Copies of this chain bind each other. A is one copy, B any other.
Amino acid sequence: MTGKVGVIGLGNMGFHMACNLLKKGSGGVVGFDVAQQALERLRAEGGTTASSPAELAEQCDTVLTMLPNNDHVRTAYLGDEGVLKTLAKGSLCIDSSTIDPIVARALADEVVSKGSTFMDAPVSGGVGGAELGTLTFMVGAKPEEFSRCEPILSLMGKSTVHCGDIGTGQVAKLCNNLVLGISMLGVSEAMNLGSRLGIDRKVLAGIMNTSTARCWSSDTYNPAPGVMEGVPSARDYENGFGSALMLKDLGLVADAAKKIGAPIPMGENAHALYQIMVAQGYGSKDFGIAFKFLGGTDSDEETRGPL
């Protein structure tokens, strides 16, 4: 059993993570969020709440942050009422937000200078994984400290991967999503092209999935309607990983790549395309909406022409 855990950021992800901590045996949860409603929701589940990150940190030896962006995370730790104002030496800070790895490292330096431990632990698995407690955590932590996160993270996820030193959790998350955004666009282009050239889209997906085009975007999450059941493309791209979220992650990738001078031509092109999709109003649709954006139709019948 862990001690009391402070959870900062009680949105779609953080609320479910806090609930799992409450249900599965942590020593209690103290929550903080800027939205009053979020605090009430946590209290209804048996948690307590604090009026600031600083007040929260006074009561906990572990702090978990799950926030939308760099600035929110920095403010939560370093702000006038931030965690570092009150955090006891020897505490453990875990940031599960997806942020810039370079920002994560700078933040880690501040936490370490106060005598505590920092780990970045962004997640995959989405809101569904947060609710079911089946998230995967990609953890950047000093080798000798890594084991400290497992008792807590195991209450919220099914898998905890040590990626390397501080910051590498974010690096792994961003690199993964860079490939994901690019391959989703590639599969969308191929499925639309193939369908219009007259191949049955299920047959095409079947061939690609057993050949060198094989990838998660094709075999597990195919963006062309009619290929798979139970995926966003089968429900008008609702309840998936929103294009606006993919855009945000590709933006973080671009920021990090720019800082170290790594060229990502396909990544920048993917970012630009998702930016156009969001500007055209597709932000809340699953990122497989790229198939529709490129002119893809609901079925082969609609596209088969004279060819």
Contacts and interface: CB of A to CB of B under 8 A. Distances in A.
Given A102-B307, A176-B208, A269 B267 contact: no
B265 A208 contact: no
A245 interface: no
Interface residues of A, number: 82
A275 B261 CA distance: 7
A295 interface: yes
Nearest to A105: B307
Chain A binding site: helix, strand, loop or mixed by DSSP?
A: helix
A288 to B, nearest CB: 12
Contacts of A199: 163-164, 168, 171-172, 175
Contacts of A189: 178-179, 182, 262-267
A215 interface: yes
A78 interface: no
A256 B197 contact: yes
A292 to B, nearest CB: 11
B264 A179 contact: no
Contacts of A207: 138, 161, 163, 172, 176
Contacts of A197: 101-102, 167-168, 171, 256, 260, 262
Contacts of A88: none
A203 interface: yes
Given A138-B207, A179-B183, A180-B212, A279 B260 contact: no
Given A197-B101, A199-B171, A203-B163, A276 B263 contact: yes
A272 interface: yes
Interface string A179-193: 110110111011111
Interface string A153-174: 0000000010111011001101
A109 B78 CA distance: 22
Interface of A: 101-102, 105, 124, 136, 138, 161, 163-165, 167-168, 171-172, 174-180, 182-183, 185-187, 189-194, 196-200, 203-204, 207-208, 211-218, 220-221, 251, 253-258, 260-273, 275-276, 278-280, 293-295, 305, 307
7 contacts: A175-B194, A175-B204, A183-B183, A192-B262, A193-B262, A196-B262, A260-B307
Given A189-B263, A254-B254, 18 more contacts: A167-B197, A168-B197, A172-B194, A175-B208, A176-B208, A179-B186, A179-B213, A180-B213, A185-B265, A186-B267, A189-B262, A212-B216, A213-B216, A215-B216, A264-B272, A265-B273, A265-B275, A268-B269
